[in-house]
Amino acid sequence: MDMTAKAPTIEELETRRRELVERLDAIKRDYGRGLDKDFEEQAVQLENAEVLSEIARVTAEELAKVDRAIIALKDR
């Protein structure tokens, strides 16, 4: 374990938070477009939906961790 690693600052955490929110927004926009009219494209979209869902889940988990870290730093 690297003991010289520094804890992230509030500014770094807020930057990461914005990135995560943007990622979740992009996923929501992608879902909002619905399925393509082309059946082959629909098949690809449906295959990708599971992966996209997992990315959204992991992103939301990380966002929650970042939010907790920001709160912890502000409460110091």
The domain total for the chain is 1
Q: Is residue 1 part of a domain?
A: no
Q: Using the 8-state DSSP alphabet, how is residue 50 labeled?
A: H
Q: How does pLDDT run across 6-22, given as a tens digit for each residue? A: 889 999 999 999 999 99
Q: Is residue 56 part of a domain?
A: yes
Q: Is residue 5 part of a domain?
A: no
Q: Is residue 28 part of a domain?
A: yes
For residue 1, what pLDDT band results from cuts at 50, 70 and 90? very low
What are the CB-based long-range contacts (under 8 Å, 24+) for 22-26? 23/55, 23/59, 24/56, 24/59, 24/60, 24/63
Helix (H, G, I), strand (E, B), or coil: what is residue 69? Answer: helix
Domain around 16: 10-74
CA 42 to CA 19: how far, in whole Å? 28
Q: Is residue 45 part of a domain?
A: yes
CA 71 to CA 28: how far, in whole Å? 26
CA 69 to CA 13: how far, in whole Å? 8
The whole-model pTM stands at: 0.81
